[in-house]
Amino acid sequence: MILNAVAIGLSVLALLSSVYFAFQQVTSMKRANYVPAYLALLDVFRSPTFHEHHRYVVQRLGAEHDPALGISGLPAEAQEAVYDVAFFLHNFVILERLGIIDDRYLMTLNDRVVRTWQAIAPFVHRERELVPLPHLLQILEDHAAVAATIPPNSGRSLLRPLNK
C-alpha cells in the first residue's frame, strides 16, 4: 500500500516536472524567435547616426522648432531624428512588455527614455491633435512616466555597481 502511494507520488512529481520543463522550453522558443529583432535594435543603437539623432532631439529640437508644428510639420531631417529615436525606444519598451527582454535591460535605457520623452512630448501631443492618432507613442509616454520615478542605481538595474 505504501509502495503504491510512493509510486503514485513519484509519477505525479514526474508529470509536474515535465509540464514545468515543457513550459520553460516553449518560453525559450518564443524568445529565440525574437532574437533577430533584438539584435537589429542593438545594431541601430551602435550606429553613429542614432546617437547624432538622439543628441539632436534632446539638445536642439525644442530650441529650433515650435511644438505647435507637431511632428509632421517639422523639416524632414528633424522628423527623421524624432521618429528614429522615439520608435527605437518605443520598440524596446514593446519587447519588454511582451516579455521578450527582461526589464533590467530596458532600465539601462531609462535615462534616454525620460530625456527623449521630455524633448518630444510637446510635439507628440500636438501631433495627436493634428492627425487622428490619439495613441501615437503612448507606450513610450507611459514608460517614460514610470522610468522617471526609478533611481538610476536601482537594485534591478544592470548598471548598478557589483557587490564584491
Instruction: Give the Cα separation of 157 and 87 in Å (integer).
Output: 22
> In angstroms, rounded to a whole number, what is the distance separating the alpha carbons of residues 62 and 59?
8
Q: Provide the whole-model pTM.
A: 0.76
Least confident of 10-14, 32-36, 52-56, 110-114: 32-36
pLDDT at residue 162, rounded to an integer: 46
Which residues contact residue 56 at a Cβ distance below 8 angstroms, ignoring those fewer than 6 apart?
78, 81
Q: What is the pLDDT of residue 41?
A: 80
Kind and range of the H or E run holding 19? helix 2-46
